[in-house]
Each structure stands twice: as structure tokens, then as C-alpha cells.
């Protein structure tokens, strides 16, 4: 790994940042299983105005924030959104619940076991019904159409459950996991400490490292915290598909705090890409944030720019992932190249159980 920079060479300039991610840098288990507290994961701090890069532990994040800075967090909780399913021909599948739409429709994904992980199962047909545990069913109605008109691996579907959704998922569901996580972990490992409302298919993981004690210490130092809500759907790890609609809610108080921080010349730190997406949905081109609630399909690119936040806390994203375009809307391609080279060289860990990256002006 010492020679990783030499092996990877210059990162390619493609639609989004491209690089080689060695498998050993994928976090395969929660930090607690590695003998660490939540806030002991590593933190790479990169300053995009002058390209400084610093290395620390997450519990020291307060050393890089100032009185009056605002952290904006996503308080959505992670569902047991995966369910075992059986096709009419007996094929054993896995159903991932992504997004609960109006009229009690769902966006879902069907996957099939491959070794110890799963992969998308692309042979379903409209009208098919899958059996679920506990005498439940899901019926697939039509492939989900994305904003660019193309058809994704996701489906519009309806569920028939024997009782209320949360109770059913608590009994029969389990957290969604991908092939880099080698074993199942209880739902509690997929929650932030500040959850207020369940609804995400996958964890808004940028905030996972916060602990009640750390939040208390930050508030005591005069750092403000404002909540919003965005329920995340399934990730698009296989094909890096663009986002689809997700439910968000930004309160009038959170909008006020964001605007006040900007007026005072303080930093607005978005804790995760989900926070950026929600804030940008309700922020106009003059940089004024408004309260709002609804569904967002917003795609944030360098060409569009970011108006609400001038700093971000996020995990490390896969090569060519669409989230890297969002980071590039905040920092330059050259800065991200520098930061990711440092992360690779210093052996930071990727994905939801990995280390974190704080992007500051």
C-alpha cells in the first residue's frame, strides 16, 4: 500500500473522479467490531481554498470548527428494509424496500444471492408477485422510469402486509448490506444517535460517528446543530445511477439558522450528501434557504453549484460515484484528487462503516 500512489498514477478525469480502490480499504464491519468507539474513526480534514490536508480522529472534529458554525444533520432512521422473498418458481430472492411513495406505492429492488452477497435480479416481469415472510406479498407493477427517460433496475410495487409496516419490518426485515460487509449486523449499528423518524432504506452514514457526549461538547463550544429530514433510498453501487425522488422536510427554524449562519459569516457544514440534497432543494440562487417539504429529484453537479452549505462532512465515495460530482460542486476536481490520494496513501477506510472526510473552506 505504500506504493499506492505510484500504482494508481494520475487519477483519470472522467464524468466523476476515477481511481483504484483496493479491496482492503473497504470497511467490512462497524468500527465497534474493530475495537473502536463510534467517534474514534479517522477523519481527514481538507481545506479546499488552500489544499491543506490534516489527519485526526473524528472525536477531535470540534478543533476544526468555530463558535457560531452550524452543523446540519439528517435525523432519518434506517429501516430493516431487506426482506427474504420467493418467486412463483421457487427462486429465493431478496427484496429491498427503497422509497415509500404516495398512494401506498413503493420503489423496490429485487436481488438474488451470489455467494455471501447479493446482486440485482434483472429477470422480473410486470405483474409478478413475490411471497414474503409472514404471509405477506409484493406485486411488481412496472419498471421505475428515471428522470432521463431510461429504465432502472428498480420497480414500482405494492405491498400486502398482515399488519403495520414498522411492526412487520421489525419482525421479518433486516438491514440492507452489500458485498463488502461480510456478515449481518443488528439494526442498531445502522442508526445515528439523533434519529427522530424512521424511513431510510440505507443509513445516512456521515453522521454515524457522532456520540451524545461529542454532541454535548460541540454545543458547549458554541457550535450550533440544526436538523432536517431526508429519507434515503437504496444506493446505486452497481451502476452509479442518478438519484430518484426522495422525501425531505426542512423546518422554518432550520432554514432560519442556515440563513443566520451565512449572514454572520459562519460555516454551514452539511453532515452528509443527503443534507446537501435537501438544503439545495429549498435554497434559491441568491443563497437564501426556505422551509419546505415534499419530494426531490435534485441532482447536484459542479455546473449547478452549491448555495446552502460551504462545508461538508461525508464518507469516502466509490470511484466514479455520482456523489463525487456533488463534492466537486463544493471543492475543485484538483482538490478532491489531492484529498483522495491522501486517503488512499494513509489507508483510510471506505463505505458506511469507514472513516470520514471533512471538507472546509
* Cα separation, 47 vs 310, whole angstroms: 11
Residues whose CB falls within 8 Å of the CB of residue 256, separated by 6 or more in sequence, listed in order: none
Residue 179 resides in a domain: no
pLDDT category at 235 given cuts 50, 70, 90 is: confident
- In this structure, the answer to whether residues 313 and 223 fall within a common structural domain is yes
- In this structure, the answer to whether residues 151 and 292 fall within a common structural domain is no
Angle at 177 between CA 111 and CA 301, to 5 degrees: 90
Residue 181 resides in a domain: no
Q: What is the pLDDT of residue 152?
A: 67
- In this structure, the answer to whether residues 284 and 335 fall within a common structural domain is yes
pLDDT category at 238 given cuts 50, 70, 90 is: very low
Tell me the per-residue pLDDT of 28-68, one tens digit each, with 9 for 90 and over: 999 999 999 999 999 999 999 999 999 999 999 999 999 99
| Whether residue 290 has pLDDT greater than 90 | yes
Q: Are 57 and 36 in contact (CB under 8 A)?
A: no
**pLDDT over 90 for what percent of the chain?**
81
Tell me the per-residue pLDDT of 63-86, one tens digit each, with 9 for 90 and over: 999 999 999 999 999 999 999 999
Supply the CATH number for residue 350's domain. 3.40.1780.10
Residue 109: give the domain boundaries.
Answer: 82-172
Residue 252, CA atoms < 13 Å, CB-side half-sphere: 0
Q: Are 65 and 224 in contact (CB under 8 A)?
A: no
Q: What is the DSSP letter of 75?
A: -
Q: What is the pLDDT of residue 148?
A: 56
Residue 42 resides in a domain: yes
- The set of cell numbers assigned to 78 is 434506517
Tell me the per-residue pLDDT of 182-207, one tens digit each, with 9 for 90 and over: 889 999 999 999 999 999 999 999 99
- In this structure, the answer to whether residues 69 and 135 fall within a common structural domain is no
* Cα separation, 293 vs 278, whole angstroms: 9
Instruction: Read off the pTM.
Output: 0.91
Number of structural domains (the chain) is 2
| Whether residue 16 has pLDDT greater than 60 | yes
Query: Residue 321 — φ and ψ, nearest 5°?
Result: -65, 145
Residue 218, CA atoms < 13 Å, CB-side half-sphere: 23
3-class DSSP state of 258: helix
Supply the CATH number for residue 96's domain. 2.40.10
- In this structure, the answer to whether residues 118 and 248 fall within a common structural domain is no
More confident call, 238 vs 222 = 222
Angle at 116 between CA 115 and CA 119, to 5 degrees: 70
- The set of cell numbers assigned to 234 is 437504496
Q: What is the DSSP letter of 280?
A: H
Q: What's the full length of the chain, in residues?
A: 361
Where does residue 185 rank: exposed (0-12), middle (13-18), buried (19+ CB within 10 A)?
A: middle
- In this structure, the answer to whether residues 263 and 155 fall within a common structural domain is no
- In this structure, the answer to whether residues 164 and 197 fall within a common structural domain is no
Residue 86, CA atoms < 13 Å, CB-side half-sphere: 9
Q: What is the pLDDT of residue 144?
A: 85
- In this structure, the answer to whether residues 59 and 122 fall within a common structural domain is no
- Of 71, 15, 22, 82, the residue nearest 206 (C-alpha): 71
Q: Are 248 and 293 in contact (CB under 8 A)?
A: yes
Residue 177 resides in a domain: no
Element (H, E) at 256: helix 252-263
| Whether residue 314 has pLDDT greater than 80 | yes
Q: What is the pLDDT of residue 67?
A: 98
pLDDT category at 245 given cuts 50, 70, 90 is: confident
Q: Are 8 and 19 in contact (CB under 8 A)?
A: yes
- In this structure, the answer to whether residues 146 and 229 fall within a common structural domain is no
* Cα separation, 114 vs 85, whole angstroms: 15
- In this structure, the answer to whether residues 43 and 62 fall within a common structural domain is yes
Handedness of CA 43, 331, 313, 321 (dihedral sign): negative
- In this structure, the answer to whether residues 165 and 217 fall within a common structural domain is no
Residue 247 resides in a domain: yes
- In this structure, the answer to whether residues 159 and 301 fall within a common structural domain is no
Amino acid at each position: 500500500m505504500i506504493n499506492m500512489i505510484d500504482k494508481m498514477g494520475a487519477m483519470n478525469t472522467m464524468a466523476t473522479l476515477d481511481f483504484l480502490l483496493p479491496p482492503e480499504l473497504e470497511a467490512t464491519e462497524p468500527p465497534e467490531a474493530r475495537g473502536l468507539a463510534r467517534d474514534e474513526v479517522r477523519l481527514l480534514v481538507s481545506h479546499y481554498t488552500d489544499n491543506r490536508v490534516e489527519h485526526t480522529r473524528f472525536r477531535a472534529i470540534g478543533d476544526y470548527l468555530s463558535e457560531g458554525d452550524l452543523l446540519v444533520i439528517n435525523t432519518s432512521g434506517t429501516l430493516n428494509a431487506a426482506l427474504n422473498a420467493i418467486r412463483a418458481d421457487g427462486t429465493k430472492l431478496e427484496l429491498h424496500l427503497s422509497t415509500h411513495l404516495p398512494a401506498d406505492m413503493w420503489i423496490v429492488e429485487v436481488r438474488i444471492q451470489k455467494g455471501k452477497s447479493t446482486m440485482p435480479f434483472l429477470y422480473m416481469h410486470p405483474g409478478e408477485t413475490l411471497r414474503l415472510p409472514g404471509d405477506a406479498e409484493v406485486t411488481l407493477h412496472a419498471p421505475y422510469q428515471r428522470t432521463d427517460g431510461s429504465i432502472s433496475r428498480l420497480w414500482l410495487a405494492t405491498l400486502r402486509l398482515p399488519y403495520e409496516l414498522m411492526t412487520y419490518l421489525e419482525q421479518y426485515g433486516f438491514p440492507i448490506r452489500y458485498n463488502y460487509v461480510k456478515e449481518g449486523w443488528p439494526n442498531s449499528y445502522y442508526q445515528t444517535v439523533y434519529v427522530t423518524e424512521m424511513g431510510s432504506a440505507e443509513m445516512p452514514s456521515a453522521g454515524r460517528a457522532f456520540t451524545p457526549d461529542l454532541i454535548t461538547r460541540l454545543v458547549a463550544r458554541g457550535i450550533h446543530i440544526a436538523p432536517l429530514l431526508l429519507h434515503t433510498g437504496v444506493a446505486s453501487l452497481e451502476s452509479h445511477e442518478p438519484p430518484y425522488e426522495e422525501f425531505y422536510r426542512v423546518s422554518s427554524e432550520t432554514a432560519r439558522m442556515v440563513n443566520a449562519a451565512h449572514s454572520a459569516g459562519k460555516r454551514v457544514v452539511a453532515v452528509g450528501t443527503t443534507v446537501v440534497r435537501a438544503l439545495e432543494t429549498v435554497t434559491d440562487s441568491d443563497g437564501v434557504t426556505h422551509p419546505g417539504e415534499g419530494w426531490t429529484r435534485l441532482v447536484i453537479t459542479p455546473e449547478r453549484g452549491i448555495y446552502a452549505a460551504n462545508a461538508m462532512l461525508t464518507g469516502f465515495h466509490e470511484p466514479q460515484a455520482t456523489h463525487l460530482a456533488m463534492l466537486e460542486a463544493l471543492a475543485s476536481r484538483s482538490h478532491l484528487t489531492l484529498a483522495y490520494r491522501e486517503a488512499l496513501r494513509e489507508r483510510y477506510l471506505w463505505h458506511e462503516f469507514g472513516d470520514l472526510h471533512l471538507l472546509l473552506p
